[in-house]
Amino acid sequence: MAASDSKDVDTNLYSRQIGVYGMETMGKLIKMDVLVVGMRGVGVEVAKNLVLAGPHSVVVFDPTPAAVEDLGANFYLTAADVGRPRAEVVAPRLAELNNYVAVQVLAEAALTEEVLDRFHAVVFTDTPRSDLARWNEYCHAHAPPIAFVAADVMGAAGYAFSDFGPGHLVMDTDGEPTKTHIVTAASEGAPGTIVVHDDKLLSFAAGDFVKFSEVEGMTGLNTQGPHRVTKVQQRLHSFELESTVGMGAYAGGGLVEPIKVPVVARHATLREATVDPTGGDAFKMDVPDHATVNRPDQTRAAFAGVTAFRDASAAGDELPDLSKPEHLDACVRHAVAVGGEDAAVRALLRRASVSRLSFDMITPDFGKFGRPQQLHVAFQAVEAFRDKHGALPALHDAAHADECVALAEEFNAAQKAAADGGARALVLEEVDADVVRTVARLARAELQPLCAVYGGIVAQEVVKQTGKFSPLGGWLYLDAFEVLPTEELPAEETAPAGTRYDHGYALFGRRFMKRLADVKLFLVGAGALGCEFLKAFALMGVAAGDGLVTVTDMDTIEVSNLNRQFLFRSKDVGQMKSTTAAAAAKAMNGDFRVEALTDKMAPDTEDKYDDVFWRRLDGVCNALDNVAARLYMDSRCVRFCKPLLESGTLGTKGNNLTCIPRATESYASQPDAPDTDIPACTLKSFPNLIEHTLQWARDAFELYFHNNPAEVNAYLGRADYMAYLDKQRNAKVERLRTLAECLGDNHPTSFADCVRWARARFEDMFNHKIKDLLHQYPLDHMSGGQPFWSAKKRPPTPLDFDLADPLHAQFVVAAACLHARTYGIAETKDLAVFADALAGYEPPAWAPSTDRIPENEEEAKKLEEAKAKAMEEGGGGGDLDDMAAQLLTRIPPVEALGGFRACVADFEKDDDGNGHMDFIAATGNLRARQYNIPEADALKAKQIVGRIIPAIATTTALTTGLVSIELYKALAAAPLEAMRNSFGNLAINMFAMSEPMPPKKVTSCEFDVTIGGPVKAVPEGFSSWDKDVVAEGDITVQEFCDLYSAKGLEVSMIAAGEKMLYSPMMFRKHAERAHKKLSQVYFDVVGPTPRDYFMLDLTVEDDDGDVIIPPVQFYYRGAPNTRGGAGGGK
């Protein structure tokens, strides 16, 4: 199938995906043709994720008629489709996901080698191993190799395997952005030591390669290289190179960053990896040379030379030592024989290193060491059964399972014989019969969440054919046996009923499926994670009986959502996410009971999401994208003791956290790190990253085109504006200055006025302000005995305007058009009009400013404090009044403006015609240029300014699948050791699952850092999940305190959040509250509450000192089980 060279990448649709893959990989991906074989649970998940990713075409093949039980794992099958070929049914529904992808059913009735020739990658699911081995051999030997991926889920276990051939080139093994470090010192010698700024840890290790730029004096660092790092000392913020001799004497400056080392690898075939799943005959070649990027053909030729050297060796597996001339020459000869160029290959191999790819099998679950090896043997046994009988073992058939155990023993014995004969082979000390039986007895069923997990993993493997990220190059086994019943169920519990839930009955039994159907779950968020969760819930049978899934999301659907949020279509753009997603999930299973809401979860919606709502829930599933919302939901789950399933993704990384009341930590125990703001001085005067200059540009946009017009409209629309302004004394002059500049002499009446305004802004922003900075801090300025302009302070250069410069022109065009739009003036982008408007125009000349530019945040704070103090003391008050009076003379009265209203711009990054990003990108890049910071293209600028979080559908599928597995466990009240927190990184095949941590216990101690002395915990060992419930009715404050006195505890303070209710030691008037009802004090201080209780924090002590107790839940209307309706107030 021919790849299209003309298809462009839709940056609006793929914006978040481009943030993960980059444009180069996307350019390769949109030319890729993929075949997916098998449309059961795993196959349809893979196909869905691939279509969302955007290859040129996805062709599906599965002529098998759909069965009713398939509806439990294939979300595109309905009852009406039973009996029709699976591929024929799902193809048109897959096609709706992405208009840029050609989705077709394979025209041929059977697979042939000629069919495979048409594809860059093939994925096999639901295919016998014997067939897989045959097709894999063909793909491996194909020229060029066809990327081969196989996967399947049998019951609660699954596998994935990939082989990209004998010479796959990986340009970026991990996808992580390189971090730049600022050089502060360098020594000449062998080894040579480099010291960097101490603001962050070094992002490379011994053996990595780095490159330098902007180093003064020791210029050899810039011109030679890449340089191999021989030693890293994080504590000293330094590292060593082999030698810096002859590179010059270091004079200052410089940047250093690691370089991506391309890797070429020979993957093992499926047959080889079956015998030796730890690498087989695989090896790799690391090539730290830019020629790899520019001449990948020569890199592949060089690797072919290395392969030929190995094959021609006496043992057939000797790898060359490229430091030996005879080995190097031999490899070059072999490379030239297959089309390599002698000089190019020789230069490349001199810098390369060759090593075997020998590794332990991936162990995703830290609690199951040795399980992947057992699963490898178990799957071989089940496949041997299929080869022998033509079908998988029957569900829960004990005889079939026993036969599989015998086949496993046979396979292991054959492996041992091979190992005894000198071959590398996996041999188990003992076959785990229970593992084999579990796989065999459930082989015909599919655990839907595990299908989603493998759907994400396998689709990501296909994308790796582009050379982005590290392929598996072997096996990945994973099981979720913990979700299964711990005891064998009677036949009537697991027998099929001819429904979509038959696989669920086989896995869990009817009783647990009824529990799923009656569950009441709260899903918060209906974006990428939320869509996958709703799909999973519908297929799993969640809320398919008397239960209910309530989903809420306040956002509407945008174009960029369509690339990951697969329940949405183009026609849905602008609609509410929650209602659209709920309707789509309902269409997958008519039994699914789901309620869609559009509220934000926050304190101001607690009257709707009240105690009644929370008490009926069985659990909460978060699908959020920010820390603040996660923390809020966590606090509610802790308050009401509800299980919380938390998850998140970032690019190829995903994680999930299982929070079970009183059994595990809550999310707040170890929350994600919040976003950090850029220091003001860095933004205003000393940027050193493109992120700094673009944020400065974003602030400028907000000032000129949102805040200033909004201030104008406030003046024009508020009758009491001047009276209101008099109350804002400290801000009055600045706000009047804004009005004078916007409505006074600078009020434009023509587009030419707008052009000249934009030109004046250029002069002020990129010339005058920089001259002011250099006037105060000249290039030779010293600070603390060191050059001021060094390390993170990059010296800027004033810019002189030139309309012929495209970036200068972009700035004035965008600024002038936005300014014109503010005033309702017709705009144009014709540069001839700009040239005419600027003919003879001279912007104001520069005069040094007298305003002090702070050197750092500390100085800025002192200047602000001094200014505020002067205001408070009245110094300059008369001056402020005089300035205000002068400014008022420049502002026309409202009635003179004839009903004018300014157009206020609300920033929108995705509208390419509004000029918002044009202005911000031009402004940010101009500032970057004058600070010698690498500029950003339009897409990168949009990603940074729009804070577009890198995201891909594959990671979402992986993460939500793992969370859904945890839902089974939570509803079954599984023990803590069965639960799992997970972290995965699809780029590097890193999967880590571990038992959740128990909650941190508050215990008594001899010295508490906060208290500064001994502290006692009452009760001993309570956690954040615990509360002290007081239900004595509407008692007085004193009676409440007496309750604790009876326990030997004296209450010195009662608080409700940040509100102080009772603290007679601090406030003498509080003593009067002792005889008031505690509820009355609460209502007076905090306000009315719709609940019949409120939460209190107490400060207490006993005879020995300070005591810590849990928060108090005070029911002011009596015991919870006897209270009346909710209420509160005076």
pLDDT in tens, 890-913: 999 988 888 899 999 999 988 889
Question: Which residue in 139, 531, 621, 681 is the catalytic one?
Answer: 681
Token pair of 1087 as six digits: 């306000």
% the chain with pLDDT above 70? 95
17 CB-near residues (< 8 Å, 6+ apart): 26, 53, 54, 563, 564, 950, 951, 952
Per mean pLDDT, which of 29-38, 556-565, 1024-1033, 1102-1111 is the most reliable? 29-38
Lowest mean pLDDT among 293-302, 418-427, 947-956: 293-302
Cα-atom radius of gyration of the chain, to the nearest Å? 34
Closest by alpha carbon to 279, among 168, 467, 426, 160?
426
DSSP string, 218-251: -THHHHS--EEEEEEEGGGTEEEES--TTS----
Predicted local distance difference test score (pLDDT) of residue 289? 58
pLDDT at position 729, please? 65
882: three-class secondary structure by DSSP: helix
Tokens of 297: 């053909």
Report the alpha-carbon distance of residue 842 to residue 718 in Å, rounded. 37
Q: pLDDT (tens digit, 9 = 90+) per residue, 652-662? A: 999 999 999 99
Q: What is the rounded CA–CA span in Å between residue 802 and residue 265? A: 51
| Length of the chain as a residue count | 1130
Region 930-959 average pLDDT: 93
The pLDDT mean for the chain works out to: 91
d(CA 164, CA 462): 10
Residue 262, preceding peptide bond in cis (omega within 30° of 0): no
Adjacency order of strands within the sheet including 653-659: 594-597, 548-552, 520-524, 619-622, 644-650, 653-659, 981-985, 990-994
% residues pLDDT > 90 (the chain): 75
Binned at pLDDT 50, 70 and 90, residue 494 comes out as very high
The residue type found at 51 is V
Residues 45-95: tens digit of each pLDDT: 999 999 999 999 999 999 999 999 999 999 999 999 999 999 999 999 999
pLDDT of the residue at 361: 85
Distances (CA, A) of 466 to 18, 31, 74, 129: 14, 10, 28, 26
Q: Examine the residue annotation and report whether 139 is marked as an active-site residue of this protein.
A: no
What predicted TM-score, i.e. pTM, was given to this entire model? 0.90
User: pLDDT tens-digit profile of 694-713?
Assistant: 999 999 999 999 999 999 99
pLDDT value at position 1122? 41
Q: Which of 944, 756, 772, 753 is nearest to 842 (CA)?
A: 756
pLDDT tens digit string along 371-416? 999 999 999 999 999 999 999 999 999 999 999 999 999 999 999 9
Report the alpha-carbon distance of residue 22 to residue 854 in Å, rounded: 38
CB 652 within 8 A of CB 986: yes
CA distance 634 to 611: 15
Section 924-944 average pLDDT: 93
Residues 887, 19: Cα–Cα separation, whole Å: 47
Contact (Cβ atoms closer than 8 angstroms) between residue 474 and residue 162:
yes
What pLDDT score does 677 carry?
77
Q: 631 φ, ψ to 5°?
A: -65, -40
Phi, psi of 153 (to 5 degrees): -125, 125
Per-residue model confidence (pLDDT) at position 7: 53
What's the CA gap between 462 and 1059, in Å, rounded?
Answer: 57
Q: What is the pLDDT of residues 452-479, one digit of tens each?
A: 999 999 999 999 999 999 999 899 999 9
Amino acid, single-letter form, for residue 59:
V
Sequence-distant (6+) residues with CB within 8 A of 32 are 3, 55, 56, 120, 121, 462, 465, 466
Say if residue 1125's pLDDT is above 80.
Answer: no
In the structure, what pLDDT confidence band is assigned to residue 311 with cuts at 50, 70 and 90? confident
Q: Please report which residue ranges of 296-423 form alpha helices under DSSP H.
A: 296-312, 325-337, 342-351, 371-389, 398-420
> Which pLDDT does position 886 carry in this prediction?
87
Task: Kindly state the tokens that stand for 608.
Answer: 């709707």
pLDDT confidence tier of residue 1128, bands split at 50, 70 and 90: very low
Sign, CA dihedral 142-147-153-158, equals positive
Q: Taking residues 923-936, what's their average pLDDT? A: 95
| 3-state SS class at 1108 | strand
Closest by CA to 167, choosing from 141, 199, 186, 188, is 141
Looking at residue 301, its pLDDT comes to 87
- The alpha carbon of 829 is separated from its chain's Cα centroid by a whole number of angstroms, namely 38
pLDDT digits (tens, 9 = 90+) for 186-205: 999 999 999 999 888 999 99
- pLDDT recorded at residue 358: 60
pLDDT at 6: 34
Q: What are phi and psi of 5, to 5 degrees?
A: -95, -10
Distance (Å, whole) CA 913 – CA 920: 14
**Beta strand spans in 860-998 (E):** 981-985, 990-994
d(CA 279, CA 272): 8
Which residue, 173, 465, 121, 167, is CA-closest to 340? 167
